[in-house]
Chains A and B, each alone.
Chain A
Amino acid sequence: MKIEKEKLLWMYRTMVQIRVFEERIGSEFAAGKIPGFVHLSSGQEANAVGVCANLRIDDYITSNHRGHGHLIAKGLPLDTMTAEIFGKKTGVNKGKAGSQHLTDMAVGCLGAEGIQGTPVPVAVGAALSAKLRGSDQVAVAFIGDGTLNTGRFHEGLNLAAAWKLPFICYCENNTWAESTNIYDVTALTDISQRAMGYGIPGVAVDGNDVFAVYEAVHEAVARAKKGEGPTFIEGRTCRRHGHFEGDGHLYRSQEDKDECLKKDPIPRFRKKLIEMGTMTEAEADQIEREVKEEMEKAVKFAEESPFPEPEEVYTDEFA
């Protein structure tokens, strides 16, 4: 599949942005600068970017607790995201959401949800809205493998299929739901076959290969826009960090962790783009330098921003 150069470079830059963002958030968290807890998506960048490269700004996504990457790929700026995660007044949600609930309708993010399964029916609702309004928007729910066994996954997919909605359920199967391996709690080994139960296409892709993700989603978006209904996509990927920062993921074998590092989607994509002549080594290095600088500024912005005033606790409850 031919992807124009400009988009390929955006995809590469965005994957680097996500990695740099996640690793920096991880180190800032370790330094005690971030309240609460954070879940990082390092290693899963090809999924967020491969999906969102197919979306317009007015298309919709719902996300989950491991959602920073989805939101960056959908267009949230690093500075207000960082400030949000730092709990600052200048955060995209004024410090009321934090890492797990980042929301911004301006870029079509209906919200990251902390309750497993919720992203599915909420995105189905956005897809329903698009259909009823006669628009050609699509909605994507980002879920993890841990969500596959919730009732909301089932109810949402069934409703989207029955109503032929412009909806895509994208499951990042990193095989770990917190500390539980998906194959210990699900008999099915080919997760994408779940789609058969809803009478919709189910596709499994290498979630560490951004081209594979892009192509599968491209087809699903085309199908959605033609009124043919939803698609379920399983991106087989891996999680480089623990469930949350501070989780040493001792429940994983060293082999599993080593394998994951070897599957890193970013060097793979970089190599491919250089082979294809899309960018040079020097250009790739330049992108990385620029992103690191951008993140440096974002952290500075967050650090220098004030916390919200105490009165803010009483605002924003009602429209």
Chain B
Amino acid sequence: MEVSEITYLQAIHDAIDEELARDDKVFVFGEDIRQWGAPLGEMKGLFKKYGPNRVLDTPISETAMIGAAIGSAATGLRPVVQIMFAEFLSVCWSDIFNAMCKPRYMSGGKIMFPVTILSYCGAGISAAGEHSGCLDGMEMSIPGLKIVAPSTPYDAKGLIKSAIREDNPVQVFYHKKLILGGLKGEVPEKEYTIPLGKADVKRRGSDVTVVATMLMAHRALAAAEKLKARGIDIEVIDPRSLAPLDKETIFKSLEKTGKLVIMVEEPKAGSSASEIAAVVAEEAFDLLKAPIKRVCAPDTAIPFTPALEKVWMPDEDNLIKAVTEIM
């Protein structure tokens, strides 16, 4: 298979570009798309390529943007709306939670909303407390919403294409640090998609199962090398989709390891780690040989200064400590 090495940012761009080209019902809108191609540049050139009927600049009006996505999706289009930083989702929370994710069910199946929401998440760039968060766990509590959180260029491209083709609302998170860090990876030259709800085993191992998303998946892989030197072999699973969650892949790994650490970049209470831990404790308790560990951020706001932000973010040392505690 022909592959090429591209950045995480390019992968996001290419997914949106290809879907715009593939289906004229798809259109994208958000703030700063025309001039900047969105603030971190993942839509660069798309306005020029597709014009003002496919790529629209909006005012700072998150509730109107989500409303516009709902109304246009219900009437035959496939909107992709960029709500810039994950925290901004809280501005239009009711519009997502009530107006977008409930009516499919409440209408008895008489309406559908093929909406894709794109948001930047993640700390590590001193963006301070309102531009650094991951809201995965909060969104996992919304029935009717699918959530993807890719950690590699391959996953980003394949999952975003699937999200845009999905007939239900999908939240896509992509990590700022992976964009700005210039993460590269191989993607097939040929078109491909990745189904929602399918985890990926990023590293095979036999001693401990580590479930980690986005930047944390990379930190888990780095920690794996250090743990190997100590004779501990961890398996790293990236769920890629948080809703639906691929429980089977996690359970299958636990059949081998019997031990689970979940590493995510959110305050611990109500995090995606909490939900994954609850699912395992409830449905696969017999597979566990040790308590489940959650490696998360403290239950605080995200501090600005790099000196504190570094401490706030879960790192390799936090993971190594948690793994060794249950060995």
Binding site for B on A (CB under 8 A): 60, 62, 91-97, 101, 103-106, 110-111, 113-115, 117-118, 120-130, 132-133, 137, 139, 151-152, 155-156, 158-159, 162-163, 315-319
Contact = CB atoms under 8 A, between A and B. Distances in A.
A308 to B, nearest CB: 9
Given A132-B27, A133-B77, A96 B105 contact: yes
Contact of A93 (B77, B98, B108): B108
A319 B167 contact: yes
Given A93-B106, A126-B75, A132-B72, A121 B94 contact: no
Nearest to A137: B75
Contact of B69 (A125, A133, A137, A317): A125
A121 B106 contact: no
A152 B111 contact: no
Contact of A121 (B64, B114, B167): B64
B226 interface: no
B106 A155 contact: no
Contact of A129 (B56, B59, B75, B105): B75
A97 B94 contact: no
A118 B71 CA distance: 11
Contacts of A94: 108-109
9 contacts: A103-B111, A115-B94, A118-B67, A129-B71, A132-B77, A133-B76, A133-B77, A139-B71, A316-B107
Contacts of B110: 92-93, 103-106
A122 B71 contact: yes
A126 B143 contact: no
A95 B110 CA distance: 12
A113 B242 CA distance: 28
Closest 9 CB pairs of A and B: A121-B67, A125-B71, A94-B108, A155-B64, A129-B72, A103-B107, A125-B68, A319-B167, A126-B71
B74 A110 contact: yes
Contacts of B75: 60, 110, 125-126, 129-130, 137
B72 A159 contact: no
Contact of B63 (A97, A137, A155): A155
- Most A CB contacts (10 A, CB to CB) among B53, B67, B107, B168 go to B67
B78 to A, nearest CB: 10
Given A97-B107, A110-B75, A316-B109, 16 more contacts: A60-B71, A60-B75, A62-B71, A93-B107, A96-B105, A103-B103, A103-B106, A110-B111, A122-B70, A125-B67, A129-B72, A133-B76, A152-B67, A159-B61, A162-B59, A319-B104
